[in-house]
Amino acid sequence: MNSQRIGIIGSGSWATAIAKIVTDNGFSINWWVRQAKNIEYFQKRHHNPHYLRNAYFDIAKIQFSDDLSKVVSDADIIIIAVPSIHIENSLASLDAQALQGKKVVSAVKGVLPNINLLLNEYLAQKFGLPLTDYFTLLGPSHAEEVASEQLSYLTFSGVEPEATQAIAHCFKNEYINTVVNNDIYGVQYAGVAKNIYALGAGIAHGLEYGDNFLSVYIANAANEMNILLTAVMHHYKQDCKDVNYSASVYLGDLLVTCYSLHSRNRTFGNMIGKGYSVRSAELEMNMVAEGYNACKCIMAINECMKIDLPMITAIYKILWEGADPGASFKEMEKILK
């Protein structure tokens, strides 16, 4: 599999962690980095100028480029690792046939917020990418722990087991264990929902709720997420037998995103709970908290599915309608079990 050519789109923390994994595994990569000055810095210092600065790279294994079309053309497997809000702009320069015959791996944790589509739906519409050539790469994993080679688990989903296993094999090493399943829509919605619930966990922390409340909050979030994922399975008419929503890519990712200090969604929510405005929190963090746009997307998508999602609804109203966080969580206390 090392003969496969890998291209990476994105240069944030998660893209950098992914690049570390595959280069540690002996692959040479083509890496799209938007700004030429960042490429120059990377080539000189052997690390990302902005993210995971302690992760050093063998530059001989990396062909950097700010030409996206070239990176895609030179790759067999393309890993997309940019925030969902930037997907459309990032891929705008590609020709409609650019992904023909390519395997695309999504490391995106969100719905595209301007059009309320999952990445596979967008790629099918714009580039004609078949679902058989689309795979997802999800956690639970934080880029910081991957970069420091602390054991992490990655789940790869695809509709064809052998192809999915082959993709997963590119990532497995001493500090990465891989899991494979075929719940391609469910894992993506779980990746969206857990960020929303993590924002709520952060809000609760900012409001000075303790661990006892947080454990109840997360247990109820897991239950609500199961309801959402079951509805998603029926909506997309998936035939996913024996899906275990207590597995790491579902419950595990929810737990780590709600609890970990590495979680940008939890951090963002904590600031909201402490009284920051959304704009002030964005400026303070200087990073994208996927859950902010995700809750608006889920509310829009749910107009079709019509599921009762009271926790997501409450978080949406705090972030998008200016509802008071303290009063909203007082009301939430009444529905938690």
Query: pLDDT tens, 295-325?
Result: 999 999 999 889 999 999 999 999 999 999 9
Average pLDDT over residues 95-105: 96
Taking 3-state DSSP, the helix, strand and coil percentages for the chain, each rounded to the nearest 5, stand at 55, 10, 35
Which residue ranges make up each domain of the chain? 6-182, 185-333
For residue 2, pLDDT beyond 70? no
pTM for the full predicted model: 0.93
* C-alpha–C-alpha distance, residues 203 and 200, integer Å: 5
Phi, psi of 152 (to 5 degrees): -135, 155
Query: Which tens digits make up the pLDDT trace of 176-190?
Result: 999 999 999 999 999
Q: Strand order in 6-9's β-sheet?
A: 62-65, 29-32, 6-9, 77-80, 103-106, 134-138, 152-157, 176-181
Q: Which CATH superfamily is domain 6-182 in?
A: NAD(P)-binding Rossmann-like Domain (3.40.50.720)
Among 36-40, 70-74, 269-273, the least confident range? 36-40
Choose which CATH entry (1.10.1040.10, 1.10.3720.10, 1.10.150.650, 3.40.630.10) describes domain 185-333.
1.10.1040.10
**Which of these ranges, 141-150, 162-171, 277-286, has the smallest mean pLDDT?**
277-286
User: Is the pLDDT reported for residue 271 higher than 70?
Assistant: yes
User: Helices 290-305 and 310-320, interaxial angle, to 10°?
Assistant: 130
CA angle at residue 69 from 68 to 72, to 5 degrees? 85
Omega into 140 within 30° of 0, i.e. cis? yes
Matching fold, domains 6-182 and 185-333: no
Contact 199, 266 (CB under 8 A): yes
| Residue 214 backbone dihedrals phi, psi, to 5 degrees | -60, -35
Round to whole Å and give the CA distance between 293 and 283: 16
